[in-house]
Structure 1
Amino acid sequence: MPIQFAKEPHNGSTLVNASLAQLSTRIPSGLPPSLAGVNLGALNVQAPHAIFDLQADAITQGKGLASARATGFRYPVEVAGVSVAAAEVHADASGSANLVANINCGPFVAASARALNDLAKLAPVNTGQFEACLLRFSAIPLMAIWLKSTGGASDLIYPLEPAPSVLVAGKLYSESDFLNAVMPIAQKRVASGGSQPVP
């Protein structure tokens, strides 16, 4: 079954398009390198996926993925089918978009696009029912595709490149295997008050 995505917040795409239009008025030297030479008028906003954030203290307390907080929506932005940016949108309690928090052009943009394409070809994914979300764990730091099961199967985690040394980018992890891998780092971060360097 095709991977599912969250319902976008009301007015989300409109807000992202308005922010991209403002971006297009910048002089070239003010644009991120990935957008240099890109026809900003041809940017195409794609359907978003939900963003969830993990906290180190919650992991060390054994709360798992259920403790991840929904914090926004991430809209991939493409030009001619190539992902060049991602816009993070926040929504209010009524479900309406009220802020474009950032427009990111870093390495996770292309990694996310590759991951979603690759995941759709994997048997455990295309034979199940999953919603694709972006999972962030700033304590490591880590970004991953979180495949939240909507059909009774177990959730799966797919770390994006670049991944910390305790994980392999592009490998499917069960929730328990993922949590076991990141637990030592989470414990060190909590013990050090957040100053522990990432291995």
Structure 2
Amino acid sequence: MPLQVAPAPAPALRSVLAALSSPTAVREARTPSLRNATGPLVAEHPLPLHVLDPVITEPGGLPRARLTGWRFHIRTGEKVAAAGETVDTPDGWAFSHFCEGPYLASTERALRQADALTTPYQPHLLSVPGLYMLTLWLHADVASDAGTAQPAPSDLLIPLAPAPPGIAAHRMHRLSDLVPVLTLRLAPPPLLGTTA
């Protein structure tokens, strides 16, 4: 198995498990599939969730990523019913919310794609808020700390569906090839009356 999943911080996992064991938290979740789930709910596939900051770059011109939380898939039987997210607070990791939608199935599909590779990678989720885009980020440094990992040229990105127009979902891109496209799309438009 080429995917080297980084262990989630124990307090992050505990906060999701506590929310899952709270009938109030599950009942009030905005996730019908979680509310209607039968059988035990299991938190699995912990993935560090980062936000790409195209303005701040590392040496070599690659944008920096900032860890914002951990996402766990919540499984009931054979089905992923929802995801549970945690955030880092001044008091430590805390449960944030449950969610569902197309990114769940897309993440599962991208993880299967990545698992078929022969090179080992450390999986992360990478959000590009300015494009409403979420990707599976395959970090080549499998020994790195998931909380401080930064994009590297040899890393791969798999855009999740739905992807922004003109970017194919589930097509693997070398990070160094996709970043110029993202940077161009995130750049502010030229002012009226100026030439590019």
Give the TM-score band, short-chain normalised.
0.7 to 0.9
- Where 2:154 maps in the other structure, the secondary structure is coil
Deviation at 1:36, TM superposition (A): 4.7
Structure 1's unaligned 5+ residue stretches are 193-199
Structure 1 Cα separation of the partners of residues 95 and 18 of structure 2: 10
Q: Which has the higher strand share?
A: 2
With the length of structure 1 as denominator, give the TM-score of the two structures. Answer: 0.78
Deviation at 1:58, TM superposition (A): 3.2
Counterpart in the other structure of 2:168: 168
Identical aligned residues as a percent: 26
Runs of 4+ in 1 over 3 A off after TM superposition: 24-31
In the comparison of the two structures, how many residue pairs are matched? Answer: 181
Q: Which has the higher helix share?
A: 1
- Matching of residue 115 in structure 1 with residue 110 in structure 2: yes
Counterpart in the other structure of 2:84: 87
For 2:49, the aligned partner's letter is I
Deviation at 1:105, TM superposition (A): 1.1
Counterpart in the other structure of 1:136: 127
Counterpart in the other structure of 1:13: 13
Deviation at 1:2, TM superposition (A): 2.4
Counterpart in the other structure of 2:48: 50
Deviation at 1:32, TM superposition (A): 2.1
Counterpart in the other structure of 2:194: none
Change (3 A) 1:25 1:172: same
- Where 1:42 maps in the other structure, the secondary structure is coil
Q: Could you tell me whether the CA contact under 8 Å between 1:52 and 1:69 is conserved in 2? A: yes
Q: Could you tell me whether the CA contact under 8 Å between 1:89 and 1:97 is conserved in 2? A: no
With the length of structure 2 as denominator, give the TM-score of the two structures. Answer: 0.79
Q: Could you tell me whether the CA contact under 8 Å between 2:46 and 2:71 is conserved in 1? A: yes
Alpha-carbon RMSD: 2.9
- Where 1:5 maps in the other structure, the secondary structure is coil
- Where 2:85 maps in the other structure, the secondary structure is strand
Structure 2's unaligned 5+ residue stretches are 143-151, 192-196
Counterpart in the other structure of 1:37: 36
